[in-house]
Amino acid sequence: MLFTNATIITMNPTRAIITGGAIAIKDNRIAAVGKTDALLRQYSGDQVIDVKGKLIIPGLIDTHVHLAQALIRGCADDMALLQWLCERVWVLQGNFTHDDGYVSARLCIAEMLKSGTTTFLESMLAHRYGFDGIARAVDYSRLPCRYRHGHRHLCYSEQLHASRHGRKPRNQSLWCARYA
């Protein structure tokens, strides 16, 4: 597959911007980036998608997401942070079922995919938010994910490695960090 006639923002050492650019995709991987004319010659038999007037950027990385909170977004945005957490977020999430965690994660991941996010860091999970359902949604999405847990949350490491029927999901890993 070949995307042509784009403005491409690269991540090469000079951070080049390619106007009239193209990206060749082979086996779900970027095979080549360059000028449209050159890649059209090199990949002449491939499906061509003209994206004239579009910008192609590197995938975004969300370094602080709460997958379990997508279902409660907007539930009292007018409150101060601590009041919002104590009176809304923790109460609502404390009543989540495993299915709620799964559905919330699927919604949040769909939004990230639609906006160009290719990797994310789940900042904090608790067992009551439906960890297994969330891990299942992340596994299904195939997006790379790291779960951040403080020293008091190391038990989730065991869940992460065992939750998928004894196998560690290739797209999920645990990052242990102290909370500020």
- pLDDT, tens digit, 9 for 90 and up, residues 6-38: 999 999 899 999 999 999 999 988 999 999 999
Same structural domain, 140 and 87:
yes
Same structural domain, 169 and 102:
yes
Q: Count structural domains, the chain.
A: 2
Kindly report the CATH number assigned to the domain that includes residue 76. 3.20.20.140
What mean pLDDT comes out for the span 62-73? 88
Same structural domain, 90 and 158:
yes
Q: What is the pLDDT of residue 36?
A: 98
Contact call for residues 148 and 123 (beta carbons, < 8 A):
yes
Kindly report the CATH number assigned to the domain that includes residue 14. 2.30.40.10
Same structural domain, 50 and 73:
no
Same structural domain, 10 and 89:
no
The tens digit of pLDDT for each residue in 98-156 reads: 788 889 999 999 999 999 998 888 876 666 677 777 778 888 888 887 776 554 444 45
Same structural domain, 98 and 144:
yes
Same structural domain, 26 and 91:
no
Same structural domain, 48 and 74:
no
pLDDT classification of 89: cutoffs 50, 70, 90: confident
For residue 37, give its domain range.
2-56
Same structural domain, 43 and 6:
yes
pTM score over 0.75: no
Contact call for residues 151 and 176 (beta carbons, < 8 A):
yes
Point out the domain boundary residue: 17, 41, 56.
Answer: 56
β-sheet with 172-176: strand ranges across: 60-65, 117-122, 145-149, 172-176
Q: What is the CA radius of gyration of the chain?
A: 20
Helix (H) or strand (E) holding 39: helix 36-42
Same structural domain, 68 and 154:
yes
Please give the distance of CA 157 from its chain centroid, rounded to a whole number: 20
Same structural domain, 91 and 156:
yes
Same structural domain, 151 and 107:
yes
